[in-house]
Structure 1
């Protein structure tokens, strides 16, 4: 290709920013003169991506949050579509954020622009009918999980299985002692990683519960327990600190980290993880975990009626069985969570079985993701 290749992208949250940055790096090796622009986060920008809006504008969760921010998000999409039709890219890559990206992809595709959707929406779990809409919106889907391509093949929608970048980035074995040393944590104490989520809305619902859970573990079960809490932003860190203060848990040894979720999980005996990408990180680090989640009651009610999978957490979905417990919504009381965590902490035989199941998943997802995704994009361009 003699001229500059123009590649537009939209990522809606931190996990999309990571995917986008790795894909840009791999594409630059194949297309050194390519231009990248659209909506992306700091990792994508560090690769030379021109961000027209910051990624935070799209990071909402659940139906209620989405409705609250609907006008602003709709306005951004309208302006973005106009700019993309003026500065026509050779290909548009929507990274996750299906509610935002699929409508945009449909409009761009019908204007003759090639479109790729990177990260299949979870049609195997809920709203399976969306596959028709996806087919109308895209020239190709890049799927992260092995159960996804057969669904698209059945509908005649071009799909590439590219594996998951975290499976490439996380080593097959993580030494607990080495990570504890790095973080300055005691070698022999019980350590619990607490991952209450990466968005403000998640912390609003989960922070107090996580703090109370830690308090119960210390008071009733393990007085020497330590708690490592990775948080992604200043806002979420402040929210968690406020919860510690509100719950009068100043005595509990919380170790708050900026990012470093993988270190927290690697140092822990057991983790408490709010459902999402963090559950996959915990699985790839092969530690037992309890998966928990709370949504606004109305979002939960709507979601429950649409879900087809018996599992919510990715590790259980990928294994096709309950490898680790899921304690959700009204059941997610500090008492229930503390008891489940202690049970996992004490059961060393189960920990070995969990590690074995998660190693199998790790090997399945380790596909040299960015390279495969870049090859699929170049193929689509040609």
Structure 2
């Protein structure tokens, strides 16, 4: 019987953590779990010391305001672990919080396992040196991370991506449209972001592009166009009404991104996890990203960004499978033109679907089960 302390910091970590706990309990129902959990991890059998909501902060100023509370939680977690050392500490993502705990524990000889590698390959490559001091084993979601980390002397294993497990290789767009009660000729998902700062940079821009696209498609006889906006921000609808009140009948606002993407012919999204979600649904996608000019110039000046591409599918396939419009390139006219290219080039769409199917199979490894098997071996050795 093993005792694990497991810490997740957000909902994606709660999902991954719960599947790992369930798989470990299949091997031995007596295994014990404590830590920082979300509802799924608690349900799977982890006793919560704190809830992930206690760690939830948005933006730099929010972080600064809550630092004393976050430090207090972190030191309490470390104290509890030292009082009763587990067979392994498992930190899921949330690197700013978990890496500090892992560093303190590794010094004391407690085995540390980190799931979801921080994006060291995109920026701050020198962070790998700190991983070695804090982590005994890194479980990676992307195949290329394993090799890069191993080259630097860190024990790393690729476990696959949970998103690739949760999405079928072949999906049914007709059924997805029926599920939403829509029968339009062309369905386009618009995804301006999940943070308020992203919404402020992308919402009007995407709605402007959608308006231009709708008008241009109407001139070529395609007038049954539906725009789906999956988001938890109610004020997105207000932004649309403010700038394009006549377009409201062409829109549907919903909270489930999977339902929206599955029903779509095309996706226009800001760069982020949504690009991977779109890729796994094999949808033609236009990727955009805007940030404050000063931040963009700062990143350029310091040569901080290390990857050729911004979108995960492009990084993983090492080519621009989805067009990227970054900063000044992200105009409503350019977005409209890239969307039209997808709509008018069936051959390009077909070859893209082939590439994305290959990517999906590569990432689909049953991440929870794979991770549990590796963790079981790690604590047994």
Q: Same fold (TM over 0.5)?
A: yes
Tell whether the 8 Å contact from 2:275 to 2:311 is kept in structure 1 after alignment: yes
Tell whether the 8 Å contact from 2:38 to 2:52 is kept in structure 1 after alignment: yes
Question: Does 2:17 match 1:17?
Answer: no
1:125 is displaced (CA, Å) by 2.1
**1:274 equivalent in structure 2:** 270
> Given the two structures, how large is their TM-score scaled by the length of structure 1?
0.89
1:341 is displaced (CA, Å) by 1.7
Q: Counterpart of 2:361 in 1: which secondary structure?
A: helix
Question: Does 2:287 match 1:291?
Answer: yes
Q: Counterpart of 1:306 in 2: which secondary structure?
A: coil
Of the candidates 166, 169, 183, which is equivalent to residue 169 of structure 1? Answer: 166
Of the candidates 87, 111, 115, which is equivalent to residue 114 of structure 1? Answer: 111
Tell whether the 8 Å contact from 1:218 to 1:224 is kept in structure 2 after alignment: no
**2:225 equivalent in structure 1:** 225
**2:379 equivalent in structure 1:** 381
Give unpaired runs (5+ residues) of structure 2.
Answer: none
Tell whether the 8 Å contact from 1:59 to 1:199 is kept in structure 2 after alignment: no
Tell whether the 8 Å contact from 1:62 to 1:299 is kept in structure 2 after alignment: no
1:124-143 mapped onto 2 (5 Å cutoff):
124-143=121-140
**2:354 equivalent in structure 1:** 356
Q: Counterpart of 1:39 in 2: which secondary structure?
A: strand
Tell whether the 8 Å contact from 1:203 to 1:239 is kept in structure 2 after alignment: no
**1:249 equivalent in structure 2:** 245
Cα distance in 1 between the residues matched to 2:304 and 2:259:
35
1:318 is displaced (CA, Å) by 0.5
Cα distance in 2 between the residues matched to 1:133 and 1:99:
12
Cα distance in 1 between the residues matched to 2:315 and 2:58:
21
Question: Does 2:234 match 1:238?
Answer: yes
Could you tell which deviates more after superposition, 200-209 or 111-120? 200-209
**2:205 equivalent in structure 1:** 209
Give unpaired runs (5+ residues) of structure 1.
Answer: none
Cα offsets for 1:183-230 (capped at 9, x unmatched): 1111x5111012223334433433333333323322343443211122
Of the candidates 154, 159, 177, which is equivalent to residue 156 of structure 2? Answer: 159
Tell whether the 8 Å contact from 2:211 to 2:244 is kept in structure 1 after alignment: no
Cα-Cα RMSD: 2.4
Aligned pairs, number: 373
1:62 is displaced (CA, Å) by 6.7
Q: Counterpart of 2:144 in 1: which secondary structure?
A: coil
Question: Does 2:327 match 1:335?
Answer: no
1:258 is displaced (CA, Å) by 2.2
**1:29 equivalent in structure 2:** 26
